[in-house]
A and B are shown apart, each in its own frame.
Chain A
Amino acid sequence: MAPLKALEQEYPIINSSFQNFCASRGIFSVEDLLLHDLYVLVAFAEQESDAERLKQGITQVLSIIDGQHQPWLNGMELLEDAHRNKHVLSSGCEGIDFLLQGGLRKGQLTELVGASSSGKTQLCLLAASNVAKEHMGSVVYLDTGNSFSPQRITHFICRHSDPAIDQAKHRILQKVMNSILCHSVFDIFTMFDVLNLLELNLRSQMQRGDCQVQLLIIDSVSSLITPILGGSGSQGRALMVSAGFLLKKLAHEHNLAVLVTNHTVGGEGGICKPALGESWKSIPHVRLLLSRDRGGSGVYSVSVLKHPSMAPGKASRFMIDD
């Protein structure tokens, strides 16, 4: 947020005498003002010789503050936004779509939790190829473990199309591949860089009116966050929560569906539980637990751990073709 000095050009009422008055109370920026009781400040201003001008300055700063929070909406406006912008993207997997009543919702953060080889990455690749192919949208894919596989995407795209029409297939494939943007990310700071850049791009795209990105995938977000957690310090958790808020902000403001994956750790009594702990629990909108059925049948189970409108415990099964 802006130091008061920087506001002088735009708002002449915030002149040097107003700044001096604020500085005498330990206020140098709008941020400082937020932490102060403005009524008390007005009371102090009244003791000064140019009380009227100072009070006008405080009113001016208050209206600047008013522009710095998210807009107020009533229920109908929210509903309109949801109907117009928060569509559902098919994940390409019928079992998941059926369970989630359509698929991944734009504006929401969906988390896939599961042990190793429980189908997390496969679902990410499937969702990426499906959104790129069926929804004509581009996909941003943050790959943290070099597990992104173009061959697999090719497989998912070509499985339904007729092999006879080779040329058309090739064209579709090329288009799909062009609209999946893969970034290799190996630490959380690079992830912040990529996400901030994405936000900047999306904002300028939104002004031009050609926003295309529909899905953001991070496979896996836990491998970026786990290294910075641990110890008693709060810095790691602060980064984790900030990352969560950044993802939710991107999802809401640019109407993206966000899909992240998380691994499991052994909890108390040998029961597996999602990694990243209690603080992360309140970040995602939807949490799905994946597991692979025993016996090598290639059938996967998925159950809802948390959903804004669904009871936890609902389950479904699906297969991912080889």
Chain B
Amino acid sequence: MEQVVGSPKGWIDGDESAKEMLARVLTARPFLLLPPLHRVPLRVGNVVELVGPSPSSKTHVLIQAAVSCVLPKEWNGVHYGGSDHLVVFLDLDCRFDILRFSEMLKHRIIGESIGSMKIDSEKMDFDLWNNDKKRRPAYDEELYVLCMRRFLYARCYDSFEFLATLKTLHYRIQKEEEAHGTSVHMLMIDSIGAFHWIDRASTFMPVGGNNRKSHSLQTVSETVVQEIRKLLVLHPMLVIATKATILGDIYAMNDAKWNLRKPDTSNCRSGRITSQQLPYREYMPSIWQTFVTHRILLRASDDHLPVSNDQNHSLYFSEWLLPSLSFIDKFIVKEVFCFGTCRLASSLFHEVRRDLWCSLASHFLIFPIMPVSYYSVKITMTKGQQNFKILAISRGCSDGFLQAFNKSALLEHETEIE
């Protein structure tokens, strides 16, 4: 086709082909995140705030998003659907538990590699027992280590440490990006209001000149926002910050009254919150508030889901406040358990009869998260023994735990071993 610059035809022809456009759009493609972050497409440069009382699964949502970010899109032919990037986590609350992160990561890796199979403890036990290599969840240690290394963590005990961390973060990110060959895609702050009271109380008159900036809530927030803005220019990232409602008795009080009046409907408590009345009291300075582009409110429910026979599920509500969406999401946080340990146990128990092992495995499943993966279990058993005992568990386990473990009814199996 003839193309003449400046002719009307040339103008109609457009600037880029569909292929070029697709490539461009895909680089700035929104994150694919798990609920409750899935309602609105989030892109790098956005600042998301998760507001909620403590506990309301704020950190859980962060960890979930971090796991999605560090996982690769595909690995050894298995689709994980991650974004293959680094995550920076600034822990201002100093409560982060790496074991939880590790378990959730393992859970995702195993969950994906067994494909569409629903995670069903009974079935899993059976599969593990059968030693069926194909159906056995392939837990990839190499992938696990790769993902764990992509998670960068620093804690801060006060605002100055926070500022010092932010001021030098650019150099750190540069170093890590070179080492890993991929860029940082998320900056997480848990939680942004952690030093609120300390900063608020430390306002003093500056000594030594009128132009000296005093250390106050205002100046700290200004500097924090300024530093993050500068970082975002150099390293396009999605910022996710949690904020505990430290002043927020308003909602709790309304809630208690509400529950008292209508105890029967407490399951789906509270209607929509009107935009005039915020469900919590805002305490961050306006400079931070205007910096935030998306805001989600999280709340816990008093009720545990009736669907489960154990208490390992909790129900939470999430609601988008910015942009304001007209519905409330419910989501469940399950306690994850570790298949890696079941495998460990299965190798230890290969001589034990199946029903015995299954009962132990089901016991392991009741024990959530850390202890199982954390302890390596040493079990001695002799022929004809009436019941077995876990004799030694490696570091990190107390005698009291052992006693409790051995005493529990599930383990007291009167099974004859061949």
| Chain A residues with a Cβ under 8 A of chain B | 1, 23, 25-28, 31-32, 34-39, 62, 65-66, 68-76, 78-79, 81-84, 86-94, 97-98, 101-103, 130, 134-135, 233-235, 237-238, 240-242, 245, 248-249, 252, 267-269, 271, 277-279, 281-282, 285, 306, 308-315
Given contacts A234-B201, A281-B53, contact A25 B398 (CB under 8 A): no
CB-based nearest B residue for A96: B400
- Residues of chain B with a CB closer than 8 A to A84's CB: 395
Select one of B248, B314, B371 contacting A312, CB under 8 A: B314
Chain B residues numbered 314-367 whose CB sits less than 8 Å from any CB in chain A: 314, 333, 335, 367
**Besides the known contacts A74-B148, A82-B98, A269-B256, 18 further A-B residue pairs in the complex with CB atoms under 8 A apart:** A23-B208, A28-B212, A34-B163, A36-B213, A74-B149, A74-B150, A74-B152, A75-B150, A75-B153, A84-B395, A103-B400, A134-B399, A235-B201, A241-B196, A277-B249, A282-B194, A282-B246, A306-B55
Report the minimal beta-carbon distance from B64 to chain A, rounded to whole angstroms: 13
- Least CB distance from B409 to A in Å reads 12
Kindly specify which of B15-23, B43-51, B215-223, B285-293 makes contact with the partner chain.
B215-223
Q: How many angstroms between the C-alpha atoms of A95 and B408 in the bound complex? A: 11
Q: Is the CB of A35 within 8 A of B219?
A: yes
Chain A residues with CB under 8 A of B197: 234, 237-238, 240-241, 279
> Which of B235-293 touch A at CB < 8 Å?
244-249, 252-253, 256-257, 260
Indicate whether B161 reaches chain A with its CB closer than 8 angstroms: yes
Partner of B148, one of A28, A69, A76, A87: A76
Binding site for A on B (CB under 8 A): 53-55, 59, 93-95, 97-103, 145, 147-158, 160-165, 167-168, 171-172, 191, 194-198, 200-202, 206, 208-213, 215, 219-220, 223, 226, 230, 244-249, 252-253, 256-257, 260, 300, 304, 311-314, 333, 335, 367-371, 374, 395-401, 403-404, 407-408
Chain B hits for A36, CB < 8 A: 213, 223
Given A74-B150, A89-B398: A282 and B171 within 8 A (CB)? Answer: no
The answer to whether B172 touches A98, judged by C-beta atoms less than 8 angstroms apart, is: no
Q: What 6 A-B pairs are tightest by C-beta distance, nearest first?
A: A90-B398, A90-B400, A75-B148, A238-B201, A26-B211, A75-B151
Of A39, A73, A83, A308, the residue contacting B395 (CB under 8 A) is A83
Minimal beta-carbon separation of B270 from chain A (angstroms): 15
Complex CA–CA separation, A309 to B157 (angstroms): 22
User: What would 14 A/B residue contacts be, using CB atoms closer than 8 Å?
Assistant: A35-B215, A36-B223, A37-B226, A70-B154, A73-B154, A91-B400, A101-B401, A233-B201, A237-B201, A285-B95, A310-B369, A311-B304, A311-B313, A315-B311
Q: A101-B371, A241-B195 are in contact. Are A71 and B400 (CB under 8 A)?
A: no
Known: A65-B168, A97-B400. A268 touches B253 (CB 8 A): yes
Residue in B closest to A80 when the chains form the complex, CB atoms: B98
When distances are taken between beta carbons in the complex, the residues of chain A under 8 Å from B245 are 278
| Cβ distance B366 to chain A, nearest Cβ, rounded Å | 10
Q: How far is the CB of B267 from chain A (nearest CB, A)?
A: 15
Q: Which A residues are in CB contact (< 8 Å) with B147?
A: 75
Q: Which residue of B lies closest to A103 (CB)?
A: B398
Are B395's CB and A97's CB within 8 A?
no
The answer to whether B164 and A68 have CB atoms under 8 Å apart is yes
B164 and A69 within 8 A (CB): yes
> Can you name the residue of chain A whose Cβ is closest to the Cβ of B249?
A278
Candidates B59, B94, B408; contact of A245 at CB < 8 Å: B94
Shortest distance in angstroms between A82's beta carbon and chain B's nearest beta carbon?
Answer: 5
Q: How many angstroms from the CA of A233 to the CA of B212 in the assembled complex?
A: 25
With beta carbons under 8 angstroms apart, the residue of A35, A245, A285, A308 that contacts B158 is A245
Specify which of B195, B213, B260 is in contact with A35 (CB 8 Å cutoff).
Answer: B213
Task: Report chain A residues within 8 Å CB of B168.
Answer: 62, 65-66, 69
Residue of A nearest to B398 (CB): A90
Chain A residues whose CB sits within 8 angstroms of the CB of B195 once the complex forms: 241
> Which of A65, A83, A245, A312 is within 8 Å of B157, CB to CB?
A245
Q: Is the CB of B161 within 8 A of A70?
A: yes
A195 to chain B minimum Cβ distance, whole angstroms, is 13
A126 to chain B, nearest CB (A): 10
Contact A314 B163, beta carbon cutoff 8 Å:
no
Contacts of A1 in B (CB 8 A): 160
Neighbouring A residues of B102 by C-beta, 8 Å: 75, 79
Compute how far the CA of A309 lies from the CA of B223 in the bound complex, rounded to whole angstroms: 34
B248: which A residues are within 8 A, CB to CB?
278
A5 vs chain B, min Cβ distance (A) = 12
A5 to B209, CA, bound (A): 16
User: A241 to B151, Cβ gap below 8 A?
Assistant: no
Taken together as a complex, chains A and B put the C-alpha atoms of A77 and B374 apart, in Å, by 15
Of listed B172, B206, B226, B404, residue having the most chain A CB within 10 A: B404
B149 touching A68 by the CB < 8 A rule?
A: no
With beta carbons under 8 angstroms apart, the residue of B151, B165, B211, B401 that contacts A69 is: B165
Interface-centre pick from B171, B219, B395 (highest chain A CB count, 10 A): B395
A278 to B417, CA, bound (A): 55
Given the known inter-chain contacts A66-B168, A90-B400, please indicate yes or no for A74 contacting B246, CB distance below 8 A. Answer: no
Question: How far is it, in angstroms, between the C-alpha of A88 and the C-alpha of B368 when the chains are bound?
Answer: 15
B398–A26 touching, CB < 8 Å: no
A54 to chain B, nearest CB (A): 18
**A90 and B200: CB pair below 8 A?**
no
Contact of B99 among A65, A74, A82, A98 (CB under 8 A): A82
Q: Assuming the A-B contacts A26-B212, A75-B150, A306-B54, are A34 and B398 also in contact, with contact meaning beta carbons closer than 8 angstroms in the complex? A: no
Given A25-B211, A101-B371; A75-B98 close (CB under 8 Å): yes
B145 near A76: Cβ-Cβ < 8 Å: yes
| A71 contacts B154, C-beta separation under 8 Å | yes
**What chain A residues lie within 8 Å of B154 (beta carbons)?**
69-73
